[in-house]
Amino acid sequence: MIGRGTGKGESSAGHSQSWRDLAGSVRPRKKSSLLRRRRWRALLKLLSLVGVLLGLLGGGFWLWQKADDPQAPMEISAPSQPLENILFKTDGALPDQWLSRTVDLSIGTNLMEIDIYDLKERLEKVGQVRTATVERAFPNALRISLKEQSPVLRLVLQGKDGTLKEQVVSDDGTVYDGIGYSRTVRRGLPYLQPYLHGDGGYLPVLGIPRVAELLQLAKSTYPELCGDWDVVSLEHYTGDTRLPGQIIEVRTKLVPRILFGAGKDFDLQLKRLEYILEKVQDSGNPSMERIDLSLRGLAAVQFSSREVNFFP
C-alpha cells in the first residue's frame, strides 16, 4: 500500500524552517555591526562639519574685530634674523649719518624685537620730517622712508645766551634746523620777519601756507620778479586773511617795500607788479620806495621824491 509518506525535501521536524526564519536566526549580528559602523561614520561627519563651522565663525569674529579697530597692529610671524641692513630713502636732504644718530639701532638686534611703531613716532617728532614709514624687510633688514618738509623761508633766532641761530621755515609753518641743506639752498630762501603776538613772542609762526602760495607762484610763473626778494615781513599779517588790512610785505634790492594783500588774488597782483616795473623802468625813473598792490582795482607807487603815482 502506498501511503502518504514524506515528500522529497520535506522534514518531520516539529518547528518551522522557512527561509525568513533561517535568515533571522543567522544575520542579526552582521546587521547590528553594519548599523554601528554607519552611525560612527555619520557622527564623524557631523563632528567634522561642526569643526568647520566653528573655524568659520572664529575667523569671521577675528575679521570683525579688525574691521572695528583698523588701527590695531597686525603681528605676522615670519622668519626673522638679527638686523644687518637699514634701507634708507628720503625725498629731502637728511643724510645717512643723521639717521644713524637718530635711530640708534645696534646691528645684531633681532628684527622682530624692533618696535617699528615707536621708531616711526620718534622720527616724526623731528621737525624736518613730515611723515615716516618704517617696515621690516625680512629676514634681516629694516626699510625706512621719509617725506621731508618743503623749505620756503629762513629765520634767525636769538638764543638765551645771546647767540644767533639760523633756522628754516617750511610751507606749513614748521620751524626746524634744516639739516643737510646746502649753502645754495639756504641762500635762495628769503629771510622771515615774523608777526609778533600780544605776548611779544612770534611762535607759532602763523599764515605761512598763504605766504608759501605767493612765493611758489612767483618762482614758477614770474621768476624774473622774485630773484632779489630778500625779506618777507609779516609785521602786518596775523595769519587770518578774513581780517581787513592784512599785508604780506616783500623787501627787495630794487624796491624797498612791496605790499601784497594777503587775502587777494596773488596772480593779479603779480601781473600788476610786472606791468609797473616795466613802465617805471621804461620811463627812466626806477627809484621807487614802495609799491602797494593791496588796493582794490589799482596800485600806488611811491618814488624816492615822495611823488605817488597810481597804476591800473
Q: Where are the domains of the chain?
A: 85-148, 151-311
Q: Of the CATH numbers 3.10.20.310, 3.90.1200.10, 3.30.230.10, 2.40.30.10, which one belongs to the domain with range 85-148?
A: 3.10.20.310
| Collapsed DSSP state (helix, strand, coil) of residue 180 | coil
Report the alpha-carbon distance of residue 303 to residue 312 in Å, rounded: 17
Q: Which of 90, 97, 142 is nearest to 119 (CA)?
A: 142
Query: How far is residue 303 from each of residues 188, 194, 225, 275, measured CA to CA in Å?
Result: 28, 27, 19, 16
The CATH number of the domain covering residues in 151-311:
3.40.50
At 10, the pLDDT band (50, 70, 90 cuts) reads very low
| Start-end of H helices in 235-312 | 266-282
The grid coordinates of residue 21 equal 526564519
Q: Do the beta carbons of residue 170 and residue 151 sit within 8 Å? A: yes
Report the alpha-carbon distance of residue 262 to residue 241 in Å, rounded: 6
* Percent of the chain scoring above 70 in pLDDT: 77
Average pLDDT over residues 272-279: 94
Tell me: pLDDT of 20 over 50. Answer: no
Query: How far is residue 105 from each of residues 4, 64, 128, 135, 311, measured CA to CA in Å?
Result: 115, 36, 21, 14, 63
- Whether the model clears a pTM of 0.75, i.e. scores above it, the answer is no
The torsion angles phi and psi of 274, rounded to 5 degrees, stand at -60, -45
Report the alpha-carbon distance of residue 252 to residue 242 in Å, rounded: 27
pLDDT score of 158: 82
pLDDT tens-digit profile of 71-94? 555 555 556 788 898 999 999 999
Q: Do the beta carbons of residue 259 and residue 249 sit within 8 Å? A: yes
Tell me: pLDDT of 269 over 90. Answer: yes
pLDDT tens-digit profile of 143-177? 999 999 999 999 998 878 889 999 999 999 999 99
Q: Do the beta carbons of residue 194 and residue 157 sit within 8 Å? A: no
Segment (H or E) for 28: helix 28-68
pLDDT tens-digit profile of 281-302? 888 767 899 999 999 989 999 9
Q: Which of 69, 68, 102 is nearest to 86 (CA)?
A: 102
pLDDT score of 68: 57
At 18, the pLDDT band (50, 70, 90 cuts) reads very low
